[in-house]
Each structure stands twice: as C-alpha cells, then as structure tokens.
Amino acid sequence: MGFEEATPIQEGTIRLGMEGKDIIGQAQTGTGKTTAFGIPLIEKIDTRDGNVQGLVIAPTRELAIQVSEELYRLGKDKNVRILSVFGGQEIGRQIRALKNRPQIIVGTPGRLLDHINRRTLKLENVNTLVLDEADEMLNMGFIEDIQSIMSNVPEARQTLLFSATMPDPIRRIAEKFMKSPEIVKIKSKEMTVENIEQFFVKSVEREKFDILSRLLNVHQPELAIVFGRTKRRVDELAHALNIRGYLAEGIHGDLSQAKRMSVLKQFKANKIDILVATDVAARGLDISGVSHVYNFDIPQDPESYVHRIGRTGRAGKKGVAVTFVTPREMGYLSIVERTTKKKMQALVPPTADEAVLGLQRVAMEQLETMTEKNNLGSYRELATEMLEKHDAVDLIAAALKTLTKDPEDAPVQITEERPLPSRGGGGYKGKGGGRSGGGYKGKGGGRSSGGGYKGRRDSGRASGGGRPGRTRRHES
C-alpha cells in the first residue's frame, strides 16, 4: 500500500491484536487506526472457511464503505472476501451478496440488525468484533443496537475498539463488553493533530455567512468541509454558497443514499470544492486534499469538534480549522479547548477589501496561466491594437478587474440558528439531551444574511473554472 513505516498506533496495537488480546486503541485522527485493527483482523481469517469470521461496525454508511475498501486492499493478496452492508441500499442485493460467503462484514448497526433478524446474516462463527469510532457506537444513540448485535456474536471473541476520542464514562461502558482489555493510548500533548492550525472567529449569527465567504476567498482551500448544526442549515448553506459562486454540495441524513454517495464521489473527484455537512461526515472519513474545515456552528461536544477538524491534517499533511462562535456560545469554546488541551487562535475576519484581494490574486494567476499556455492566436492582434491606444498597465488592470468575481452582494437566505444553551463551565457531561441536543428546530425568523457590502457589482462574468487545486467559483 506504499506505507513506509508503521504509525504509532499501528506499532502499539498490531502485535497485541495478533496475539488475540482485546484492545481499546486511541490515537489522533488520521493516524492509521483502520490499518491498526485491519491487519490483525485480516491475519486471523481462515480463507478455507466460508463463514463470517470478522465483524466491523461503523456509525455511518460512508464510513462502512470506506473501511470495507481499506480492508479489501489489506486482504487482497490473501483473497479475503469482504462485504459492506448499510441502510439505504436495496436489501435484496445485500442478501444475494451475503450468499457469496463473505468472511468479513462491515456494516452500520441498523442494517446489521435487520439482517440478523431476517436470518440472512449468521454471526456464530465470528471471532473478531471491531467497533470503529467506538465511543460513538457506545453512546446513547447506538448502544442498544450494539448490545443486540453483540448478543449474537460468541462470547469467546476478540473485541477491538478504536477511536480518536474515548471519554471516561464511555470507556467504562466499553470495558464491560471486553475481557481485560489492553488500553493503548498514543500519548500526545494535545488531543487534536499538531499539523492542524486551529482558529476561532467570534461573530454574531447574521454576520457568519459573509465572514465565511471572505475566508474562503482569502484561504482559497484546495477542498473544504463546512459543518452545520442541522440539516436545514446544511441545505441553506450549500444553496447560499452556490449563489455566491462556489461549487458546493450538501450531505446529511435526509438525502437518499444514492445522492449521498454521488455527492461524496464528486467531492473526492474534485468536481465540487466545498462539502457542506452535518456530523454525518464528521467521523472517520478519509478524503485526501481537504485543506480546510469550517465549523459554521460550534459543535455541541468537544469530541465532535475533534472528529470534525480531523477531516483535515491527515497522515502528516497540514490543515486549517476555523470555528465560528457566537458571543453567547463562548463557554463552549473553553470546554472544547479544555478537552483538546489546545488553544484556538482568535482570527480577525478579513475585511471586504482583503477578501477581494484574494479574488484578485486568483484572477492574476488565471491570467498568468493563460499567458504561459501561449495559445492566444488572434487575441494577440487585438492586444497589439489596444496597446496603441491605451497604457499597458491600465489594460492589464482592466483585464484583472473583469476576471475578478466578487458576488458578495448576491443576497442569500440563512435562517438564524438559536445558540446552544448557555453553558459556562463544567467538563464532559455526556450527550445528556440525546443526539439532537440543542439543535434548533423551530422557525428562525427568516432573516437573511448578506446584503451588507453593496455597490460593487461586477458583471460577474468569466467563470473560467479557476485553477486546479483552488476553490473555483462558477457563475451564479
């Protein structure tokens, strides 16, 4: 797979895993935990045996697919048969695939239970059980499902639990399901990865979106993920970003599975530059090229923060994370910082002029690339003609101005989100209120953001596609 050396979590757990020990493995995001449990799991499979021997449970469909793909790569030479099963996909197709005697199943809890109940999935020969994102799987939303699934797996199994976060109360629950587990926690000063520069922006609700647009113009991310608190939020943000000329798409649990998969595929193929997501994309997803993560809404739990920003800065790469905080939510910021043991730097939002500078730089690069390509044909004759009448600097400035798209005055609609319930101190309290938490569901008053910085309407021409590796903008 091109890996040159084991990462610390791989070094710390692979041998123990092959000895058959139960393990709780905790290491920062993007440090190769999948391979850390994948190798012992694959090594134990008896390829002459057609029964299901390994079971991996993951919290989201996209993660289940990704993990099964990585296991496939690990087990390819050994010819291990791996199948992923998850909701939203036609069950008949999965039932047929289950008849092909897969040896490892990777699935989401709901669909696994469905197959168990239909007796299309038999787990009595499973000897290795893995919970990826273990703390999430043992949290309130999933615990009952996990317990039911576990009751179908033999007691004499090996259990492997991995995550970047493992709050103590959850670890204590985990230990009940395990046999004297080895706890392998990769020591680091901070819970988050050092390569991620972490910022926060203090802003009132209605100014967040304009600040986000300006940050995108200044940062020019290769690929970015914008996290929003609710599904409605994600829809509105994706729509608003498109109005402002970005190539953005939303992903959340209300979309069809086909749509979720196609959005993710487009993002991976760089056909869209910005993925707007709820926490459904927070855990485990490994997408190369994600240079920036923006928390448009500060997450409710510190753990969610760790996983969200961990979508960048993976496998040693650099990343930037920016978290928006409204004045009333500042208490959450300190809770996050206390958990991660890392202070975020205050980021002064760029002014409209600074943001335009970013766009101007993009225009300049476009002009330079075009010049270097050197296939300007008849445009050169026109240029010569124009140079006879005008100053060269004026002409280039005019060309740059035409290319610079600044649709900041395009009105957008972002419903205000109620701030998280005020919370000044206290440490981790678990997901007391269940998964929806402070998520605001009512009507927000429908105020729109934007509209602030009027009077610079460029003709908005020249979509041009931008340069590869930069956030492109399309014509709105």
Ligand X SMILES: Nc1ncnc2c1ncn2[C@@H]1O[C@H](COP(=O)(O)OP(=O)(O)OP(=O)(O)O)[C@@H](O)[C@H]1O
**Which residues form the interface with ligand X (CB under 6 A)?**
3, 6-7, 10, 29-35, 164, 284, 286, 310, 314-315
CA dist 201 and 176 (Å) reads 41
Kindly state the smallest distance separating residue 279's Cβ from ligand X, in Å: 13
Kindly state the smallest distance separating residue 436's Cβ from ligand X, in Å: 24
Kindly state the smallest distance separating residue 29's Cβ from ligand X, in Å: 4
Select the span of 166-174, 255-263, 276-284, 384-392 touching Mg ion (CB under 5 A): 276-284
Kindly state the smallest distance separating residue 296's Cβ from ligand X, in Å: 20
Residue of this chain nearest to Mg ion (CB atom) = 284
Report the site for Mg ion in 212-251 (rule: CB under 5 A): none
Among 12, 284, 407, 464, binds Mg ion (CB under 5 A): 284
Q: Which is nearer to ligand X, 244 or 307 (CB)?
A: 307
Residue 286 contacts which entry, ligand X, Mg ion, none (Cβ below 5-8 A, type-dependent): ligand X
Q: Which is nearer to Mg ion, 165 or 366 (CB)?
A: 165
Alpha-helical regions (H) of 29-130: 33-44, 61-75, 91-98, 109-117
**Maximum CA extent, the chain:** 87
CA dist 102 and 81 (Å) reads 5
Residue of this chain nearest to ligand X (CB atom) = 32
Q: Which is nearer to Mg ion, 83 or 134 (CB)?
A: 134
Q: Which is nearer to ligand X, 213 or 340 (CB)?
A: 340
Residue 20 three-state SS: coil
Please say whether the beta carbons of 236 and 414 come within 8 A: yes
Residue 3 contacts which entry, ligand X, Mg ion, none (Cβ below 5-8 A, type-dependent): ligand X
Structure tokens at 322: 């920016």
Please, which residues have CB within 8 angstroms of residue 367's CB and are 6 or more apart in sequence?
396, 399, 400, 403
Please, which residues have CB within 8 angstroms of residue 271's CB and are 6 or more apart in sequence?
247
Residue 379 contacts which entry, ligand X, Mg ion, none (Cβ below 5-8 A, type-dependent): none
202-241 as b/e: b if 16+ CB within 10 A? bbebbbbbbbbbbbbbbbbbbbbbbbbbbbbbbbbbbbbb
Residue 232 contacts which entry, Mg ion, ligand X, none (Cβ below 5-8 A, type-dependent): none
Q: Which is nearer to Mg ion, 25 or 284 (CB)?
A: 284
Please, which residues have CB within 8 angstroms of residue 142's CB and are 6 or more apart in sequence?
59, 109, 136
33 binds Mg ion (CB under 5 A): yes
Distance between start and end Cα atoms, the chain: 42
Q: Which is nearer to Mg ion, 21 or 33 (CB)?
A: 33
Kindly state the DSSP code that residue 431 receives in the 8-state scheme. Answer: S
Residue 285 CA from chain centroid, whole number: 6
Burial class (CB in 10 A: 0-12, 13-18, 19+), 329: buried
Q: Which is nearer to ligand X, 222 or 409 (CB)?
A: 222
Please, which residues have CB within 8 angstroms of residue 5's CB and are 6 or more apart in sequence?
none
Please, which residues have CB within 8 angstroms of residue 3's CB and are 6 or more apart in sequence?
32, 35
Residue 29 contacts which entry, ligand X, Mg ion, none (Cβ below 5-8 A, type-dependent): ligand X
38 binds Mg ion (CB under 5 A): no
Residue 310 contacts which entry, Mg ion, ligand X, none (Cβ below 5-8 A, type-dependent): ligand X
Kindly state the smallest distance separating residue 107's Cβ from ligand X, in Å: 17
Q: Which is nearer to ligand X, 315 or 387 (CB)?
A: 315
Structure tokens at 308: 């969200």
Residue ranges that bind Mg ion, judged by CB under 5 A: 33, 284
